[in-house]
Each structure stands twice: as structure tokens, then as C-alpha cells.
Amino acid sequence: MNIPVLTIDGPSGAGKGTVSRAVAKKLGWHYLDSGSIYRSLAISALDKQIDLQDIAKITLLAEKMHLAFECDDVLIVSLDGVNITHRLATEETGAAASTIAAYPEVRAVLLQKQKDFRRFPGLVADGRDMGTVVFADAPYKVFLTASALERGKRRFKQLKEKGIDANLDKITHEIELRDRRDRERKAAPLIPAVDAFYLDSSDLSIDEVINQVIILTE
């Protein structure tokens, strides 16, 4: 398939979403936020009060889930016809998504849903295993990261700006736990693709990161 793909993988809070959306807009390519797919499934499971350890029920839910993405400057996600965008970034959703994303059965069901986003003129795919599993043949790959403390500070600032009470130490600790869980899971662990460009954004502005990624595709 000759449709170009740029994968941007990395841990939570590294800036993948902001960078990926901006790069997709500049290139005029489609955009896939794979994390939102898992977070949407987590929201569906939580709403239906399904035990997150019940792999069979979670997998069946993934098969039946209907998602719609709209993306310009911001991403709008609808689950079964309901806009759930405002719920995607909550800590509860993130923790639940990290749990169910570790199940090989769930990842297998959602794999094709992600592959279907590959359309002309190109795709920017944001996630954790885009360059290693979903689009392993992608010609452009980036592994975007930042220190756990820096990612914690970014998350803390986001929550404060939304008027949500937050604790920096707790947020940073949760990020470290999620990183460990994502690295150690058996199904598609969070690791850089061997041919990925490693980019640490800890001391870089968003514009600097975007420019470096754009240069990679030229």
C-alpha cells in the first residue's frame, strides 16, 4: 500500500496529540488518535458497569462499538452517537483504558479499526504501538517522550486551567505507574520502533517539536 503514514508513538503526556494534529493539518493528511479508541472503549465499559477484568465482555464490547471522529483544530469523538470528547481526558478513563489495552484479545479486535484510517493522501497516527504493530511498514516514525515529572507538570496545568483540583505528586506517580504497565504488558508493549526517530520534548516548545517532525517527512 503506497499511502504514506507518519507514526508518532510515546507515553501519556508527551504531547503526541497536540503535535500529531498540528502535523496532520500542515500536511493535509488524515489523523488517527488510537488512544481515543481505547479510551472510548473504557468509557463504554465504565458506563455499562462491566468488570474491567472480564476480558470476554470487554472484547465483545469492542466488536460492537461504533466510533466517529471529527478533527480540525480539536478532536471530537462520538461513541454510539453520543459526543464523549469531554470525558476522554479524565484520570478514570485513562486508567481504565490502560488496563483494557493490555488484553491481546481487545487489541486484535481494534487493530483493523485502526488500519482502516489509512487513506489518501496520507495518515498521521498517534498512539503507543503505531510504528511497531499497527503501521509497522510506515516510512516515517517518531517516538516522542518527556520525563515523567515534565509530563506530570503538563497534566497538572491542564487540569488547573479547567478548574479541576489536582495534585502534582499524585499525577506524576500515576504516570510512572502507567508507563511501567505499558512497558511491561505482553501485548504490544510501549517501546520505540527500531527505525523510529527518538525525540525528547522535555525542554522543547510545541512549535520546535512540530518543526522537527515536519522536517522528517520532507
d(CA 88, CA 169): 22
Residue list for the binding site: 10-18
d(CA 187, CA 124): 22
DSSP state at residue 196? P
d(CA 98, CA 76): 21
- Which amino acid belongs to residue 212? Q
Sheet holding 140-145, edge to edge: 30-33, 123-127, 5-9, 140-145, 197-200
C-alpha pair distances (Å), 123 with each of 9, 72, 88, 139, 169: 14, 14, 22, 11, 36
d(CA 18, CA 14): 9
Residue list for the binding site for ATP: 10-18
- Intra-chain end-to-end CA distance of the chain, in Å: 20
How many other CB atoms sit within 10 Å of the CB of residue 93?
20
d(CA 132, CA 117): 17
What is the secondary structure of 169-181 as a DSSP string?
Answer: HHHHHHHHHHHHH
